[in-house]
Amino acid sequence: MIALIVTIIYTFIAYLALTAGSGSFLGFWSVEEIIMGVFLSIIVGAISRKYLCKSGDYRMLNPLRWLLFVVYGFGPFFFAMAKANIDVAYRVVTGKIRPGIVKIKPELKTDFGVTFLANSITLTPGTLSVDVDDENNLYVHWINIPEGEEKNEIANIEKVCGSFAKWARRVAE
């Protein structure tokens, strides 16, 4: 039942975002679009509720996690992304690279947490997640490994992705 309601609300918000500007009801929508949106959302929710809420765990409904996600997106993540982009720009121009695949142990328990961290790592230039194993260890292709770091069996997580693992734990677990 919760899965059905969550899917309907999510679909309806997506519909509202896509049809904004169609009229002047409540500012941006026409009444016809709203009525049609309610019907379509209920149909889509009834069909696809089993796919969106597959795990049966509703911890992501907590608004605090959404707030933390927004803070993370505009704060540490955007800053790290900008810094890494300038670093990769420097490597593109000079051609100084020391590539390799390192292993990190983020110690995350849930699938969503690992997905969150892997996507953050891949969106930050310089690091690219290649594979994941059964113990949720990530294999990361790193474009410029610092001297000496390649000798460690498990690379220093702070050096690979900064505070991303901590944020992934806060937001997604």
Partner 1 sequence: MLADYLIWVFIVIGLTFNGLGVIGLLRFPDVYTRLHAATKATTFGSLFTSLAVVTWGLWNYSQGGDSSNIVLSIHTIIAVASLLLTNPVGAHAIARAAYRSGVKPKNAVVDRLEVKE
- What character string, x for contact with partner 1 (CB under 8 A) and - otherwise, covers 100-139? xxxx--------------xxx-xxxxx-xxxx-x-----x
**Residue with Cβ nearer partner 1 (98 or 109):** 98
Contact 77, 116 (CB under 8 A): no
Q: Which of residues 151-170 bind partner 1 (CB under 8 A)?
A: 153
Nearest distance in Å: CB 29, partner 1: 10
Measured distance CA(20)–CA(28) in Å, rounded: 5
Nearest distance in Å: CB 10, partner 1: 14
Measured distance CA(125)–CA(89) in Å, rounded: 9
Measured distance CA(104)–CA(77) in Å, rounded: 19
Nearest distance in Å: CB 123, partner 1: 5
Q: Is 99 an interacting residue with respect to partner 1 (CB under 8 A)? A: yes
**Cα 70 from chain centre:** 11
Q: Which residues pair with 131 in a beta bridge?
A: 139
DSSP E strand boundaries for 83-168: 100-104, 127-132, 138-142
- What character string, x for contact with partner 1 (CB under 8 A) and - otherwise, covers 30-69? ----------------------------------------
**Given 5, 67, 70, 89, the residue binding partner 1 (CB under 8 A):** 89
